[in-house]
A and B are shown apart, each in its own frame.
Chain A
């Protein structure tokens, strides 16, 4: 079966000037996204997790060409759409964009403060014109209802809404053009806990209803476990482990995944501490090491890990990890 979305060998490197006394003037390369590949089917959610700077947001933005990638293929229904997104044929580009939409982290920054909610929701129709103009208002009212807002509040401005309500508007705006894939970048991180669960429930219900696929980016592994069918763990621009969510959470094979999962404090006092302790901090993505990028912090590192960069390989029927000495 042709996957709905397949990303192959996505790469985004940044050239930056090195700071410091000795190396001033020389340039280095930050490997923000380095050979990222994954597959997503309709109705599935891929949770993209990792710590700040691991490349998860750049990956999502490159998929939509919001950040132009250096290399790689973005296959939508088997067709590479990266040249179309980057190309000059606006009609073709919009046709692809309509199928892949983005929800931003901060609903305070991603809505125009001078537009009413109705105006904000009219924009996708204006751009993509999937329906006749006389149907827009009815469609907007229906959208607001779908995301749990009162249609009569559409005449209000963003500042009159709470964070959770604004995120509902952001979701409605993404869904307006009936996309097949929605990229959600930390959609609940800026919300209060009691509101988070409302938005997570909304996202789950919308997926069940519409069959839309999500790429869900988050550093909050608990919400990833809830919303995702699959999960990809990123470290220094690469996917180090990927597969079905329950398999990975129950038995992480990459030592970074294990450390990440075990670092989350479980809401049960006196829970047994099965922590996989990590030495040090994430190194700069600029200093490329030989061997496995994780080896300096890995307690299970072997001599080979210093020399040879491990590739993703099957660890079970539903998971892959890039590790010479898997857990």
Chain B
């Protein structure tokens, strides 16, 4: 089981707030998760759930006005939130690397593919230009790009979207990081290309024995890729468990509702009345986060106490934690 391995990454009590003119947006408000060596953690949630801000904060990349208010990010024995910028620069791209959602905007349009890939390698390892080019070509071949030597001389606009995302993956893997962060890596791609990229990530993860944090809103993608899943809602973690438990025996009312509300490609809707179980309302405005459980006003099981007391995550079964007063979670201490 995952719990027995010392985690490669442990995020504890992370709070990231946005200090805006209108007030404080509690985008990430007390989030915990772990990733064991070789494991893929899927973080799922809707826009505004805090999943992207959480993942960016691991490398202190969340842009202003984001402010890290509290918490620790323990990675390979150090708290990244307390390291110097210089030390962090050594870790970024080398021990922990990131692939971004939009391959069109995450590559520099005025640098050739070769320049972007070798720059990273030479900065981190100081190898010769030729050695860096060889390594870059090797990586392009690894991610399934044909004729890598020619591609190194090309510019991003000469590549298709799927090809650009492969370059983004190659770039992230140059230094063989222990942990790969992937934020919606296939959302901008067509479905058949998405399938190719997911295959590639699954294969590389195996081959390089790498851990991965996969941020997505797509329940299908996370089912296909993740060993463990953390479900986020409005800046808080609702539930964390292994993938099979999340899909087959979800406990948090939000997880349940979310899974039911997605139409399924393997289900016939003919004949029956076409109604998807849906969650009424919409996620709260985090500028005015409601007291109590963040989900209470949309929750079919909400009790009066849910309106007042914010639940704290607790272990329901080994490896399965949930944050819901109706599932026995204790209340959060007054903030």
Please list the residues of chain A having a beta carbon within 8 angstroms of any beta carbon in chain B.
51-52, 162, 164, 192-198, 200-201, 204-205, 208, 219, 221-223, 225-227, 229, 245-246, 249-250, 259-271, 275, 277-278, 281-282
Select one of B162, B220, B258 contacting A194, CB under 8 A.
B258
Do the beta carbons of B191 and A221 come within 8 Å of each other? yes
Do the beta carbons of A194 and B247 come within 8 Å of each other? no
Q: How many Å lie between the Cα of A168 and that of B230 in the bound state?
A: 31
Residues of A near B24 (CB, < 8 A) are none
Residues of B near A208 (CB, < 8 A) are 274
Q: Does B160 contact A (CB under 8 A)?
A: yes
A-B contact sample (4 more), CB < 8 A, given A222-B262, A225-B268, A263-B192: A51-B191, A196-B261, A229-B270, A281-B162
Select one of B219, B265, B270 contacting A221, CB under 8 A.
B265
Residues of A near B264 (CB, < 8 A) are 222, 225, 266-267
Knowing A246-B268, A278-B192 are in contact, say whether A269-B244 is a contact too (CB < 8 A): yes
Residues of B near A197 (CB, < 8 A) are 261-263, 276-279
Interface residues on B, range: 35 or more
Residues of B near A271 (CB, < 8 A) are 223-224
Question: How many whole Å from B297's CB to the nearest CB in chain A?
Answer: 13
Knowing A222-B265, A264-B191, A266-B220 are in contact, say whether A204-B278 is a contact too (CB < 8 A): no
Do the beta carbons of B262 and A201 come within 8 Å of each other? no
Q: Which residue of A lies closest to B277 (CB)?
A: A197
Knowing A194-B258, A200-B276, A201-B276 are in contact, say whether A282-B266 is a contact too (CB < 8 A): no
Do the beta carbons of B278 and A194 come within 8 Å of each other? yes
Q: Which residue of A lies closest to B48 (CB)?
A: A192
Q: Which residue of A lies closest to B219 (CB)?
A: A267
Do the beta carbons of B192 and A265 come within 8 Å of each other? no
Which applies to chain B's interface (DSSP): helix, strand, loop or mixed? loop
Residues of A near B194 (CB, < 8 A) are 263
Q: Can you list the 8 inter-chain pairs with the closest CB atoms, starting with the nearest?
A: A265-B220, A226-B263, A197-B278, A263-B195, A197-B261, A51-B190, A265-B224, A269-B243
Do the beta carbons of B278 and A268 come within 8 Å of each other? no
Question: How many whole Å from A295's CB to the nearest CB in chain B?
Answer: 16
Q: How many Å lie between the Cα of A197 and that of B263 in the bound state?
A: 8
Do the beta carbons of B283 and A192 come within 8 Å of each other? yes
Contact with A along B93-110 (1 / 0, CB 8 A): 000000000000000000
Knowing A193-B46, A263-B195, A281-B162 are in contact, say whether A269-B283 is a contact too (CB < 8 A): no
Q: How many Å lie between the Cα of A201 and that of B263 in the bound state?
A: 11
Q: Which residue of A lies closest to B44 (CB)?
A: A193
Residues of A near B46 (CB, < 8 A) are 192-194
Q: How many Å lie between the Cα of A201 and that of B218 in the bound state?
A: 19
Do the beta carbons of A259 and B265 come within 8 Å of each other? no
Question: How many whole Å from B127's CB to the nearest CB in chain A?
Answer: 32
Residues of B near A275 (CB, < 8 A) are 195
Q: Which residue of B lies closest to A203 (CB)?
A: B274
Do the beta carbons of B282 and A193 come within 8 Å of each other? no
Question: How many whole Å from B39's CB to the nearest CB in chain A?
Answer: 14
Q: Which residue of B lies closest to A275 (CB)?
A: B195
Knowing A164-B282, A226-B274, A281-B193 are in contact, say whether A194-B261 is a contact too (CB < 8 A): yes
Do the beta carbons of B223 and A223 come within 8 Å of each other? no
Contact with A along B213-226 (1 / 0, CB 8 A): 00001111101101
Residues of A near B261 (CB, < 8 A) are 193-194, 196-197
Q: How many Å lie between the Cα of A275 and that of B278 in the bound state?
A: 30
B265-305 contacts to A (CB < 8 Å): 265-270, 274-280, 282-283
Do the beta carbons of A266 and B270 come within 8 Å of each other? no
Q: Which residue of A lies closest to B227 (CB)?
A: A269
Residues of A near B90 (CB, < 8 A) are none
